[in-house]
Structure 1
Amino acid sequence: MVSPFAGTGIQESIDGTTQTASFRTPFGLELDTFGNIFVSDPDSNLIRKIDRFGNVTTLSTNLVLGAPSGIKFDPITGDKFIACQDTAQILKIDPMDQFSLYAGSSPGIDGFQNGDRLNSLFKGPLFMDLDRERNLYVGELSNHTIRKINLNSETVSTLSGGVSGYLDGDLTSAQFKSPSGITYDQKTDSLLVADLQNHRIRKIDLKTSTVSTLLGNGIEANIDGKGLNASFNGPAFISLDNSGYMFVSDTSSNKIRIVDPDLNVFTIPHTFAALGVVKIDCPNQRLLTTDFGANQIFQIKFE
């Protein structure tokens, strides 16, 4: 069952309750451990917060937010990391909701450079996830790379990619084409990558340092099936539950795909206006998804 969760559908940035508040282009979405939901709005360059009582507020900052997109919550520190596409930066929001620059160039210069977090350069950072060793992985659309930010040493390196293409293999030779969604699978110590323009779901095994194709035949379509026989159409984000089910935002078809632990792919029979992020909300037994075409956040409950 798909139903509205927050937003009137009016394309404005107006605070209120989930029933009265309005969003402009809700895109990124993340939940913390306190029942709060954070939503990025790239067009209005805002981060909105929905608390556990259903109140919607706008987080204030003097920093320039250039198309904030992906949001990642760090359960150890309570920090939230924000990937800003236009300014090519990773920002940090502390538990007091104060913003600071965490990685990238302060003037917002894009490029490609590893090293100290504040001397590093990004181009098109989109979505992120954390592993058990406190590495923050960033999917970079324009550099076609997976970048790695070690939160302990505060350094940036390249995990894999750098050339636009499609190639499995070791980390240095593998190729991606606009990798966007990054999801860490703790059970297998691997990353699941939504390879947007290759229309595939790739797997990076962190133990063996290899890249393989997990799902999709590369045909730009919305066709269910198993593993490499299924087709995707612009997969942009992956959410993984504790049972091994994947939920994929298939953004060109504006549909949510479900992948069971045996890699069978199914499609939820609902078409969104402009699908953004799909996120599992385990305590409330639902999926939350942003729709920046309808200017709303929807919830999906399975009966």
Structure 2
Amino acid sequence: MKKNIFYTIFCALITLGACKRDDFWNQTTEVNRGTISGILTNTDDNSAFKGVKILFERQTKGDGSRTFVDTVATDAQGSFKYEVPYPNKVKVSIRDTGRYHLDETYVELTEKKDYPIHLKSFPRFGESSIEVLLQDENNQPVEGARIALLVRESANESYSVVDTIHTSVTGKVLFDKIAFPVQYKVRIAERGAAYDLDSLEARLLSKDKDQQVLSTRKKFGQGDLTLKANYFYSQKIADLESVTYKYRSILEDDFGQEQTVRLTSSGELLLPKLNYPGTLILTSNADTKLPFHGLRLELEEKDFLGTFKLEFKDVKPRYSVPNFNNLKVSTLNLGTINAKGAQAVTMDNDGNLYIADGTLNQLIKRDVYGHSIVVAGSGAAGSIDGAALSATFNGLWSVALDSSGNIYTVDAANVSGAHKVRKISKNTNGEYVVSTLAGSGSAGGDNANGTAATFNRPTGLVFDKFRNCLYVSEWLGNRVRKIDLATSSVSTLVGSGVAGLTEGIGIVAQVNYAHALSLSSDGAYLYITHFNGAGLSRVRLSDNYQEVMTKSLNQPRGVFVTSDHQVVVSNSGAHKLVLLSQLASNSNSVLTTIAGTTAGTSDGDALSAKFNFPFGMYYDQWTGNWYIATSSNGAGAGSVRVMRSADLD
């Protein structure tokens, strides 16, 4: 009787322990585990058995009953590994007993450590081999592609990977020492983006070698990549630059190791024997003379057929502070476009120069490669909105760009229907469209929203990125207006509407035929040229106070303030450019002529060159170029001139 009681208690404890292990096995929280590490080898020659399924079962009851846990397949070295929560007792055995003699062992896991085991077996019926030939669409052998062999003993089981081998120069792979009978699959083990994939299934039933054929088509190639680099803004050769690159072809998961190389004196770099398509990342490094923004290039076959041109965009401007020494003047080539009345110029972040031509009533764009096109304006005088090349303008005297790339200009003509601020933007199809931002078309000075407001010959424009607004000077209105771009609300910044040039806040101050505008780089001051007042003023935007910097100019038209607060004015009546080398209020600024002599169009040394009514100007701190719009004041052909210091590299 006592023996029976003790036996019942013992069995209950075993069962409880097994149930506890069951809880450990299935719970999702972190538990301690031991690792069963095994190897399966041939008892005859100790060679490894690959792709053989190993069965794991654990004891769940005191009577030795077991529950299936999992199966894993041996790898190419005959090894397998499995983590098991402890305490547990696990039976490990060969699962594929249709082909291999059974071997098994028990592992008692009691702590977190490695439990090595060694299973041995031999084929029940013998071994054979499988040969696979890989051919392309022309029945030619394909070298270097991976072919995988997978096996299973019955259709009810999943496949196990036996091995993966690269095809030889003859396009073949041989999988040997495969125990039979077995169902198998061979397949192309490559990326679908690189190869057309193919596979087949068959049964290996005897010692006779099976021979199979797979077909594919390569989607990649190999070639030498020749790169040639220019600096984007100047279009000069990036000679002898030290750069870093890394490459990943369509055949690879990860980029290769970074390499640092130096371009040749002609800006070239040869990268031989690259598989394509692929991705090339090119960056500057500590030894790069002129750091540039990194390039990520998606390369295709066509890029390997000739020289691939790179363009390095500088990380920061090279010439943020202009050099006024040894200045030279030249005339900008606009190709087949003949600028007749260039009034103003500006530039976007991609180095495109925009030219407002008030005689042609067209907006011209010239890119860094020297290609010029008309962006907007049919050439007829008018104020019609719509598709850019069908739209009309009347007195296109100014141009400005906002942070989103929208373009603004004016209808400055003194006729009914003009007196507007126009907007040129891209629609969803990427096509330029012209609309009216503000102005009813009637002359006036009413503040209101958008087209309810009125202007009197709006002339100069500048965008204020700090306040998201446009400032608009009025030639006959003797005011400077402000347009809030978020609401299209128009207000008066300075100017009473009566011609004069006096200091004061807002509408107390007077302006005199306000023409060009320029904003300081910090957004603190707005500079204004006064055509009839022979002057230059600036408005302190914190309180809209206007102070007069000089009254010693001659019909000033254009003005530009550099990043270091130097001010250059086009003294159009004198056909010269002047630098306000010493800025001072109360008309006490010091003026220095930096270019121009008398009216004309000759190039050369700046102080010997001739301008014919220089109007708007723009300084490009990426190239060190000054662009000056010149007009014959309606009397003939105009042009855009370029001024640059010969001391710059």
Q: Which amino acid aligns with 2:450?
A: L
Q: CA deviation at 1:86?
A: 1.1
- 1:9-48 to structure 2, matched below 5 A, reads 35=319
Aligned: 1:66 with 2:346: no
Task: Give per-residue Cα distances to partners, 1:24-66, cap 9 Å, x unaligned.
Answer: xxxxxxxxx6659xxxxxxxxxxxxx99973211112332212
Between the aligned partners of 2:466 and 2:560, the Cα distance in structure 1 is: 19
Q: Which amino acid aligns with 1:154?
A: Y
- Alignment match, 1:212: 491
Instruction: Tell which deviates more after alignment, 152-161 or 251-260.
Output: 152-161
Work out which of the residue numbers 38, 46, 55 in structure 1 matches 2:328: 55
Work out which of the residue numbers 504, 518, 535 in structure 2 matches 1:255: 535
Which ranges of 4 or more aligned residues in structure 1 deviate by more than 3 Å?
33-36, 50-53
Aligned: 1:87 with 2:367: no
Task: Give per-residue Cα distances to partners, 1:192-213, cap 9 Å, x unaligned.
Answer: 1102211011111112221111
Q: Secondary structure at the match of 1:126?
A: coil
Q: Which amino acid aligns with 1:275?
A: P
Q: Secondary structure at the match of 1:198?
A: coil
Q: Which amino acid aligns with 2:368?
A: P
- Alignment match, 1:160: 438
- Alignment match, 2:566: 286
Work out which of the residue numbers 423, 426, 430 in structure 2 matches 1:148: 423
Work out which of the residue numbers 75, 85, 104 in structure 1 matches 2:377: 104
Between the aligned partners of 2:360 and 2:487, the Cα distance in structure 1 is: 34
- Alignment match, 2:578: 298
Between the aligned partners of 1:288 and 1:51, the Cα distance in structure 2 is: 11
CA contact (8 A) 1:276 1:289 kept: yes
Between the aligned partners of 1:252 and 1:298, the Cα distance in structure 2 is: 17
CA contact (8 A) 1:79 1:95 kept: yes
Q: How many pairs were matched up?
A: 254
CA contact (8 A) 1:141 1:178 kept: yes
Work out which of the residue numbers 526, 531, 542 in structure 2 matches 1:246: 526
Q: Secondary structure at the match of 1:125?
A: coil
- Alignment match, 2:388: 117
- Alignment match, 2:465: 186
Between the aligned partners of 2:325 and 2:348, the Cα distance in structure 1 is: 18
CA contact (8 A) 1:287 1:300 kept: yes
- Alignment match, 1:203: 482
Instruction: Tell which deviates more after alignment, 256-265 or 229-238.
Output: 256-265
- Alignment match, 2:216: none
Q: Which amino acid aligns with 1:273?
A: N
Q: Secondary structure at the match of 2:338?
A: coil
- Percent identical among aligned pairs is 27
Higher relative contact order (CA 8 A, sep 6+): 1
Task: Give per-residue Cα distances to partners, 1:138-182, cap 9 Å, x unaligned.
Answer: 022021110000145411111011222121111121000110111
Larger-gyration structure (1/2): 2
Between the aligned partners of 1:140 and 1:235, the Cα distance in structure 2 is: 15
Q: Secondary structure at the match of 2:507?
A: helix
Q: CA deviation at 1:136?
A: 0.5
CA, structure 1 residues 52+173, in 2 after alignment: closer, same or farther (shift >3 Å)? farther
Q: Structure 2: which 5+ runs fail to align? A: 1-316, 584-649
Aligned: 1:175 with 2:459: no
Give the TM-score taking structure 2 as reference length.
Answer: 0.38
Q: Which amino acid aligns with 2:401?
A: L
Between the aligned partners of 2:363 and 2:574, the Cα distance in structure 1 is: 27
Q: Secondary structure at the match of 1:172?
A: helix
CA contact (8 A) 1:84 1:125 kept: yes
Between the aligned partners of 2:389 and 2:381, the Cα distance in structure 1 is: 13
- Alignment match, 1:266: 547
Between the aligned partners of 2:318 and 2:473, the Cα distance in structure 1 is: 28
Q: Which amino acid aligns with 1:110?
A: A
CA contact (8 A) 1:287 1:301 kept: yes
CA RMSD of aligned residues (A): 2.0
Work out which of the residue numbers 557, 574, 578 in structure 2 matches 1:276: 557
Q: Which amino acid aligns with 2:377?
A: G
CA, structure 1 residues 98+196, in 2 after alignment: closer, same or farther (shift >3 Å)? same
Q: CA deviation at 1:80?
A: 0.7
Task: Give per-residue Cα distances to partners, 1:228-270, cap 9 Å, x unaligned.
Answer: 1001110011111114211101111110011113211111134
Between the aligned partners of 1:96 and 1:53, the Cα distance in structure 2 is: 26
Q: Which amino acid aligns with 2:359?
A: D
CA contact (8 A) 1:190 1:204 kept: yes
Between the aligned partners of 1:101 and 1:121, the Cα distance in structure 2 is: 13
CA contact (8 A) 1:274 1:293 kept: yes
